Each structure stands twice: as structure tokens, then as C-alpha cells.
Amino acid sequence: MKNKEEQTAPKLRFKGYTDAWQQGKLGDLGSVAMNKRIFKHQTTPIGEIPFYKIGTFGKQADSYISHELFEEYKKNYPFPKKGDLLIAASGSIGKIVEYRGEKAYFQDS
């Protein structure tokens, strides 16, 4: 009979990873929060604060929001801290961007 580790160890492993397998919950590594949604009518093609949509996540922003809206949302809703990892929560899941503390807002991350 296999021991518990053998029963839960994945058959597919990352190349070069030989450490023991540990199962955990995402909440044990950090917290998950969603920023407040920005709607299209709140954006402009030029402006003060870059707004990254799913298609521009990790690239060059093509929309902007006002400084006032940015400050309101940053103060009243979840907002990343420098070093946090932002993960796209809709569209193409899997794109990850490190928040480096710049004045910017990210859709559905």
C-alpha cells in the first residue's frame, strides 16, 4: 500500500524540482483581493493615470483614468502594495505582473 505522500504526489513535475511534495492552500501563501472595477465610460484615450485592461496587462496602457478616481479607488477599495503579484482574473488567465508602486490601475486583477 502506498503512503499518503505517494498518493498525493503529482506524476507531472517541474523540470529540476525534486523536493518533497506539499499540498497547501493559496491563503497560506498570501491573500487574494480584487480591485474595484473601472467602466469604459470612466476612461479616456489620454489622461493622468494609466489604466491597464486585460489586453494591455504587462504592456503599454491605451486608456487612462482621472487622478481623482484613482485616489478615491485606492483609498476605499483593495489596492496592491509594491511587490504584490497581479493576476488577470478574466480573459487570459495566467498573465502575472508585479506591481512596482507606480500610479496605475489594473482591470480585474
In a domain, 10, yes or no: no
Which residue range forms the structural domain that includes residue 65?
A: 38-109
What's the number of domains the chain is made of?
1
Does 46 reside within a domain? yes
Residue 14 pLDDT exceeds 60? yes
Query: Per the confidence metrics, is the pTM higher than 0.85?
Result: no
C-alpha separations of 19 from 3, 9, 42, 82 in Å: 17, 11, 48, 30
Q: What is the pLDDT of residues 36-93, one digit of tens each?
A: 889 999 999 999 999 998 788 888 999 999 999 999 999 999 899 999 988 876 655 5
Residue labelled with grid coordinates 480573459: 91
Q: Is residue 50 a contact partner of residue 105, using CB atoms and an 8 Å limit?
A: yes
Query: Does any domain span residue 75?
Result: yes
User: Is 72 a member of any domain?
Assistant: yes
